[in-house]
Amino acid sequence: MSRVGRVERTTKETSVTVQIDLDGTGAVEVSTGVGFFDHMLDQLGRHGLFDLSVKTEGDLHIDSHHTIEDTALALGAAFRQALGDKRGITRFADASVPLDESLARVTVDLSGRPYLVHSEPAGMAPMIGSYDTTMTRHILESFVAQAQVALHVDVPYGRNAHHIVECQFKALARALRYASEIDPRQTGVPSTKGAL
Ligand SMILES: [Mn+2]
């Protein structure tokens, strides 16, 4: 059974194509025109062991906001599509990942209900290349809304903005990987409701 999601989303602001295979090997091909965001999507695929392909052409002459947000929405939708009926999944997972002085802790429930709790250190540098650091929360909000997962992301400490953002994507990758993995002892949908 292949667990692949594919979403194409076109508006007057952006054109996005995302494909994700949950049972991949971390083969990633991404191109959004926002270098640091590409680097983060690369982390997500490699550390999630997802095969991930992302192609976004957005209105970068305005700024990188729509490009990043719409990619995150499509990614969330593709992830949800790939999960299918969620039969056999692990469902809950957490991962902590340090990057030098920064630490991220991510906990996820592939619950079918969107909820984000996010905290990161205040006073970060506002930009990393053309990536606005306030977009990290917006990416997570957008992903959660479409993926319909409960996601808690906490960075209790950190100093360098690049590190603070990157460790969040690495920990997110690991948590999504573990939560979406098939549990060989789980024969049905892991919910007392019988559906997720
Ligand atoms: Mn927005």
Q: Would you kindly state where each structural domain of the chain is located, as residue ranges?
A: 4-180
Distance from the CA of 70 to the center of ligand 1, in angstroms?
A: 8
Cα angle for residues 43, 46, 49 (degrees, 5° grid)? 135
Distance from the CA of 44 to the center of ligand 1, in angstroms?
A: 21
Distance from the CA of 134 to the center of ligand 1, in angstroms?
A: 11
Distance from the CA of 63 to the center of ligand 1, in angstroms?
A: 11
- The percent of residues above 90 in pLDDT, for the chain, comes to 97
Distance from the CA of 66 to the center of ligand 1, in angstroms?
A: 7
Query: Which pLDDT tens digit goes with each residue over 131-155?
Result: 999 999 999 999 999 999 999 999 9
Distance from the CA of 119 to the center of ligand 1, in angstroms?
A: 18
Give the mean pLDDT of 101-130.
98
Neighbours of ion ligand 1 (CB under 5 A): 69
Distance from the CA of 138 to the center of ligand 1, in angstroms?
A: 7
Of 42, 72, 71, the residue nearest 58 (C-alpha): 71
Confidence at 1, pLDDT banded by 50, 70, 90? confident
Site of tokens 């494909």: 19
Distance from the CA of 153 to the center of ligand 1, in angstroms?
A: 19
pLDDT of residue 8: 98
- The set of residues, in sequence order, having a beta carbon less than 8 Å from that of 153 and lying 6+ positions away, is 104, 105, 106, 116, 117, 118, 119, 120, 140, 168, 171, 172
d(CA 148, CA 109): 9
Distance from the CA of 108 to the center of ligand 1, in angstroms?
A: 23
Name 20's bridge partners: 5, 52
Distance from the CA of 11 to the center of ligand 1, in angstroms?
A: 14
pLDDT of residue 100: 98
Average pLDDT of the chain is 97
d(CA 65, CA 150): 23
- The CATH code of the domain at 4-180 is 3.30.230.40
Distance from the CA of 13 to the center of ligand 1, in angstroms?
A: 12
